[in-house]
Amino acid sequence: MSTTDPISTQNHGAIPSLDRLLREPVLAQLLSRTGRQLVLEEARAELDQLRGNLRQGATADASLDGLCRRIEARVGAVLQMSLQPVFNLTGTILHTNLGRAPLAEEAIEAMSAVARGATNLEFDLAKGKRGDRDDHVEDWLCRLTGAEAATVVNNNAAAVLLMLNTLANRREVPVSRGELIEIGGAFRMPEIMRRAGCRLVEVGTTNRTHLRDFSEAMTPRTGTLMKVHTSNYVVQGFTAEVPDTDLAALAHDHGLPYIVDLGSGALIDMEALGLPHETTVRETLGQGADLVSFSGDKLLGGPQAGLIAGRAELIARLKKNPLKRALRVDKMTMAALAATLRLYADPDTLKTKLPTLRLLTRPLADIQAVAERLRPILQERLGEGLEVEIAPCTGQIGSGSLPVESLHSIGLTISPLPRGKRGAGGKLKRLASAFRALPAPVLGRITGDALHFDLRCLEDETAWRAQLSELRGE
């Protein structure tokens, strides 16, 4: 086709044919590395583009060398992985856009162990018959929360959907107006409820909801009572919310279950680690909740998953809902979750083995030492015109955990010199973009007239330093 193209043969006989191109050593090598089809497709696309340019009278480089280079670049771009590791120096530890909890080594090993081949995911080895994939984590979830039973789905949004659809399809669910939350990324409680087939009955007001608001909303059509942990904001000042115990009692008086979307789902006492208090799953169940749902990749520190713990009879109903099949997790998630939960067996080593807790409890002196080691190196690399300083900063846990609590940390700030000069904003944006273009992109935060790197989450200093020489165009 390319050799008989009238334009290339009549007007631009210089355009090499596809066959001619593929005989070039560069492309022949590329072909043996990446396979014939991809190189062929990109070579054709490059030739098409060249012809198009020439047809429009534009000047274009039709040399063999130039074409080979461009085809190689095209193939490289197609094969480049889009999803890749980055350095999260934003100060938000559990950053949803950056994939939330970093996994423990034990979880990573467990995942790769099952990834390669067949596993007993749904096979009971002792009995020699079909098993349930939840079996791999259920006992541990019960042990850590005090629940009778537990199940796992793809994320906490799925967990909420499954609970509501199972317990209150075509029925009413009263929820406090102060809890009709939106979590980033289109999780809006009223919409989830509608999709679950429930009719939301708003009770109380934004800042105050009382038990009587709920009791007045009870009808024969009520399906369940639900509390939603207001994870990513707080209602402060003149406020009132109904305690779990009262809501549980009201639900039980009407023969209905009481369910709680806890969101973050701490499994241990965070205060014992020097962190702000966060209601645990065990506490919530102890206050009368029949089901509690929470995320696997928030404070728990595991893979993305939605966990539901609570009464055995209700968990059994969830498992029978066809939606459970649609929302189930794969063997890798199960492996990572099972390995993560086992780390909780030893609270003394948990803090060092589980990256989420290790980062959240990282001593300031440690972070300061990182800053002192890296400041001169970064300053040297950036040269005059930019000043690198060590400065205290505040980060946050993220993912809706303890939204108003800030984590004191230490960071590096990079400011263009002289300070206050016009055009500094553009310079900072270009600098931030240069850091994002590194082989392992470095993500910080621009505030005021500086680029900030919170060093709390920087553990692999060597890798971070090693790529600084590749920083371009700052």
Instruction: Report DSSP letters for 184-197, one per residue.
Output: TTTEEHHHHHHHTT
Structure tokens at 56: 């429009």
Residues 6+ apart with CB under 8 A from 38: 75, 78, 79
Task: Choose between 85 and 99: whose C-beta lies nearer to ligand PLP.
Answer: 99
Q: Quick one: which segment of 131-139, 228-236, 353-361, 420-428 binds ligand PLP (CB under 6 A)?
A: 228-236
In whole angstroms, give the CA distance from residue 356 to residue 358.
5
Residue of 92, 151, 224, 231 interacting with ligand PLP (CB under 6 A): 231
User: Is residue 397 within the footprint of ligand PLP (CB under 6 A)?
Assistant: no
Q: Which residues between 351 and 390 bind ligand PLP (CB under 6 A)?
A: none
Contact at 8 Å (CB) between 106 and 342? Answer: yes
Q: Which of 47, 149, 228, 289 binds ligand PLP (CB under 6 A)?
A: 228
Residue (16 or 306) nearer to ligand PLP, CB: 306
Q: Taking CB under 6 A as the criterion, which residues in 289-308 touch ligand PLP? A: 295, 306
Least distance (Å) from ligand PLP to the CB of residue 99?
12
Give the residue with the Cβ less far from ligand PLP, 36 or 194.
Answer: 194
Query: Looking at beta carbons only, is 232 or 413 nearer to ligand PLP?
Result: 232
Shortest spacing between CB 75 and ligand PLP, in angstroms? 37
Helices 156-168 and 312-320 sit at what angle, rounded to 10 degrees? Answer: 100
Which H or E run contains 410? Answer: strand 407-416
CB 356 within 8 Å of CB 336: no
Indicate the residue among 398 and 416 with the shorter CB distance to ligand PLP.
Answer: 398
Residue 95 or 427: the one with the smaller Cβ distance to ligand PLP is 95
Query: Is 118 or 186 the residue whose CB approaches ligand PLP more closely?
Result: 186
* Residue 227 β-bridge partners: 260
Quickly tell me which residue has 């404070």 as its tokens: 299
Q: Is 50 helix (H, G, I), strand (E, B) or coil?
A: helix
Please, which residues bridge with residue 416 across strands? Answer: 386
> Which C-beta is closer to ligand PLP: that of 3 or that of 206?
206
d(CA 271, CA 246): 26
What is the closest distance, in whole angstroms, from the C-beta atom of residue 259 to ligand PLP in the complex?
Answer: 12
User: Per rule CB under 6 A, is residue 450 in the interface with ligand PLP?
Assistant: no
| Rg of the chain over all Cα atoms, to the nearest angstrom | 28
Of these, 264, 279, 280, 396, which contacts ligand PLP (CB under 6 A)? Answer: 264
Nearest CB to ligand PLP, comparing residues 180 and 369: 180
User: How does strand 149-153 pair with strand 306-310?
Assistant: antiparallel
Residues numbered 136-175 forming contacts with ligand PLP, rule: CB under 6 A: 155-157
Q: Cis ω on the peptide bond leading into residue 418 (within 30° of 0)?
A: yes
Token pair for 119: 């596993």
Q: Report in angstroms how near the CB of residue 176 gets to ligand PLP at its nearest.
A: 13
Query: In angstroms, rounded to a whole number, what is the distance separating the alpha carbons of residues 264 and 280?
Result: 9
Of residues 300 and 386, the one with the C-beta less far from ligand PLP: 300
Q: What is the dihedral of CA 204, 205, 208, 210, to 10 degrees?
A: -10
# residues contacting ligand PLP (CB under 6 A): 15
Q: For the window 172-211, what string marks contact with ligand PLP as x by the rule CB under 6 A?
A: -----------x---x------------------------
Instruction: Using alpha carbons, select from 51, 29, 106, 30 the residue that is nearest to residue 345.
Output: 106
Q: Quick one: which of 16, 178, 400, 444 contacts ligand PLP (CB under 6 A)?
A: 400
Q: How far apart are CA 82 and CA 91, in angstroms?
A: 23
Rounded Cα–Cα distance for residues 303 and 241 (Å) = 32
Residue 284: CB minimum distance to ligand PLP, A: 12
The yes or no reply on residue 263 touching ligand PLP (CB under 6 A) is: yes
| Smallest gap from residue 100 Cβ to ligand PLP (A) | 8
Q: How far is the CB of 306 from ligand PLP (least distance, A)?
A: 6
In the bound state, the residue with its beta carbon closest to ligand PLP is 263
Q: How far apart are CA 302 and CA 108, in angstroms?
A: 10
Measured CA distances, 412 to 271, 273, 454, 456 (Å): 29, 26, 7, 11
Q: What is the DSSP letter of 7?
A: I
Minimum distance between the CB of residue 160 and ligand PLP, rounded to whole angstroms? 6
Residue 405: CB minimum distance to ligand PLP, A: 15
Q: Which residues bind ligand PLP (CB under 6 A)?
A: 155-157, 183, 187, 228-229, 231, 261, 263-264, 295, 306, 399-400
